[in-house]
Structure 1
């Protein structure tokens, strides 16, 4: 708004002159104003003294200021409504919101930053991160190849290939590329206390047996017998057939024992194939302890159930089987991959094969130490001076 050349006191003085009898044309010529301006002053300040005119002017200025503030607030509200559906949690999202307000509502940068509630240094920041194009492509390729692997296992595979990258960086790229594994819905399970299952400490200490079912592309169904070592987490066998009897299970266990050795215990559910006379005769002949879980308690063979989930999620749900020969070939390839390539989280992201070889090496080292240096015998109460209370406690 253009500022007037005359103050309120001067305007009131000019109006007083006109009231005293001076002609309007003469007043306009004397003070250099037009007659419309004079009559506008008369309509606005007529009958007022200097103090009242100044008060009227201040009220008009304050009213104009309030109007500007109201207009700014309404514009800010409209801008915030446009941003209502946008998440502004990260600095990048706030930078995007500020850019949108400047382009869509023609706001200044400072005003857009104030509306969004961002920091000016964060909005003006420009990233200096190196280009991750090659790493992104390799990560997407691995995720496409291993569709049921999360970022932790993919990070292990990238480190094996020689990529010097930490887990958090892989997690960020994994999230930005939207490679998150979609969880398949499962049935609700009863809550309650569960007794922790004892973990075996040596290979062949306990094997788990279970059956899973699938179907061919033509709709025919087949079954898979899985044999799992609970200590080394190795899959010892995946036997596929249209039907598997107790004798077939015994024959498969004999084939595994020929190259693996005899297990101390085998744990299974109460299926008809595993409770048949053929299995009972085989267990008695081979001197193998066979433990059946309580009916309806699959958590008593939790290692086998966990392996069932991995087999179903990473192999059976991802693969089509055209025939029995095709199923046996693909299952054998997946078993080899599970034992020698796939990192296992409960083994410190080692493969079951690596863990088994390390466990065997540690067992051999301890055996050699026992053979090389026999422990000294403790004192007993028959020896002289062995009636001391501390010596008796040590001797048991």
Structure 2
């Protein structure tokens, strides 16, 4: 605040001289002020003593401070209203909020940081890490090519290409490549006895149908056959209609190519409960287990595969009647040979099936087992082939 030229004592003394009938012009000339100043002093301090004048000055200073504080509070409230509906959960958001308040409300950096609750060092920080242009571009290409893959599977694909960087997750978040997912709340109802199977290929197969539509609106179905232990897709048969005899023929072809399963699990669809399938089971000496009615999660392996197929293929592809089989077959090849599976420690189903087969062969030949090196650890939820695993 600018220091006053005259104190209250001096002003009161001048007014006392004026009250003693001294002429205004003479007082103005004597003290080096204008006559208007004397009249202003008289209007403000007339009839007061020194203590009352000091009290008035103190009240004016306090009033000025209160006005300043009120103006600052109103400015802060306006700044908060400006950012009311904008989230400020990270450094980037807070940095943007500070820049916005500085640009549109002409606030200083210190004031804007105090309103937002940001550190000035954080606002002034500039990253010194390399831009990773090539890695970002390759990450975007993989994410756009496989739009339903999360960062873990994208990381596996980049590792296969020889990328040693540990910044994949940060770049994944900065490029906003997160896959939105809806997770329904599921409640367990009742109990059921688990099915014990050996941890080896062909220990158990699961069957189920998936329904979809062509581009012209015509419906078709896909019969999915999955190896529950190796998580490998053994067959996908799309068609507009399918009978029990067709199901039996497809199972016979897969069994001749891969070997008979120890068990087959499915629901109570008419294609699986018809006489043709029951006769095939009897002739092939294969046990067929049906889920409890209204319990699709008892067949959880193929249900999980159906969800991946719908999420990554059916919802992302436009099917025409002539190219549907080729597109589905190409996706199955990619699923078995290229796509990393999270429950297999991000191995592919085909690679894990080969590992299980080799392990089973070594266990059947103890001499070879003693000569071989220690096998890599099995994925989560899978034990050695000689043990029993509870599934279903």
**TM-score under structure 1 length normalisation:** 0.87
Q: Deviations over 1:277-300 (max 9, x none)?
A: 222222111111111222222111
Cα distance in 1, alignment partners of residues 369 and 66 from structure 2? 95
In structure 2, relative to structure 1, the CA distance for the partners of 1:331 and 1:80 (3 Å cut) is same
Cα distance in 2, alignment partners of residues 301 and 74 from structure 1? 63
Cα distance in 1, alignment partners of residues 65 and 284 from structure 2? 98
Give the corresponding residue for 1:214.
212
RMSD of aligned alpha carbons:
2.2
Structure 1 segments unaligned to the other structure (5+ residues): 374-396
SS at match of 1:274: helix
Give the corresponding residue for 1:310.
308
- The answer to which of 208-217 and 60-69 deviates more is 208-217
Give the corresponding residue for 1:285.
283
Of the three residues 245, 249, 252, the one matched with 1:251 is 249
Deviation at 1:174, TM superposition (A): 2.9
| Residues 223 and 241, structure 1, Cα contact 8 Å, conserved in 2 | yes
Deviation at 1:348, TM superposition (A): 0.9
Cα distance in 1, alignment partners of residues 280 and 294 from structure 2? 25
Deviation at 1:129, TM superposition (A): 2.4
Cα distance in 2, alignment partners of residues 247 and 233 from structure 1? 26
Cα distance in 2, alignment partners of residues 316 and 110 from structure 1? 54
Cα distance in 2, alignment partners of residues 242 and 56 from structure 1? 96
Of the three residues 329, 334, 346, the one matched with 2:331 is 334
Cα distance in 1, alignment partners of residues 354 and 286 from structure 2? 24
| Residues 250 and 282, structure 1, Cα contact 8 Å, conserved in 2 | yes
| Residues 225 and 235, structure 2, Cα contact 8 Å, conserved in 1 | yes
Give the corresponding residue for 2:382.
none
In structure 2, relative to structure 1, the CA distance for the partners of 1:73 and 1:232 (3 Å cut) is same
Give the corresponding residue for 2:380.
none
| Residues 199 and 230, structure 1, Cα contact 8 Å, conserved in 2 | no
Cα distance in 2, alignment partners of residues 84 and 178 from structure 1? 24
**Alignment of structure 1 residues 98-177 onto 2, 5 Å:** 98-166=98-166, 169-177=167-175
Cα distance in 2, alignment partners of residues 292 and 131 from structure 1? 56
Give the corresponding residue for 1:5.
5
Deviation at 1:214, TM superposition (A): 2.4
| Residues 341 and 351, structure 1, Cα contact 8 Å, conserved in 2 | yes
| Residues 267 and 290, structure 2, Cα contact 8 Å, conserved in 1 | yes
Max radius of gyration: which structure? 1
Deviation at 1:132, TM superposition (A): 2.6
| Residues 264 and 288, structure 2, Cα contact 8 Å, conserved in 1 | yes
Cα distance in 2, alignment partners of residues 100 and 372 from structure 1? 68
Give the corresponding residue for 1:362.
359
| Residues 265 and 291, structure 2, Cα contact 8 Å, conserved in 1 | yes
- The answer to which of 325-334 and 10-19 deviates more is 325-334
Give the corresponding residue for 1:299.
297
Cα distance in 2, alignment partners of residues 78 and 222 from structure 1? 59
SS at match of 1:208: strand
| Residues 363 and 369, structure 2, Cα contact 8 Å, conserved in 1 | no
Give the corresponding residue for 1:225.
223
| Residues 362 and 369, structure 2, Cα contact 8 Å, conserved in 1 | no
SS at match of 1:16: helix
Q: Deviations over 1:315-373 (max 9, x none)?
A: 222222322x5222222111111101111111111110111111112222222226788
SS at match of 1:225: strand
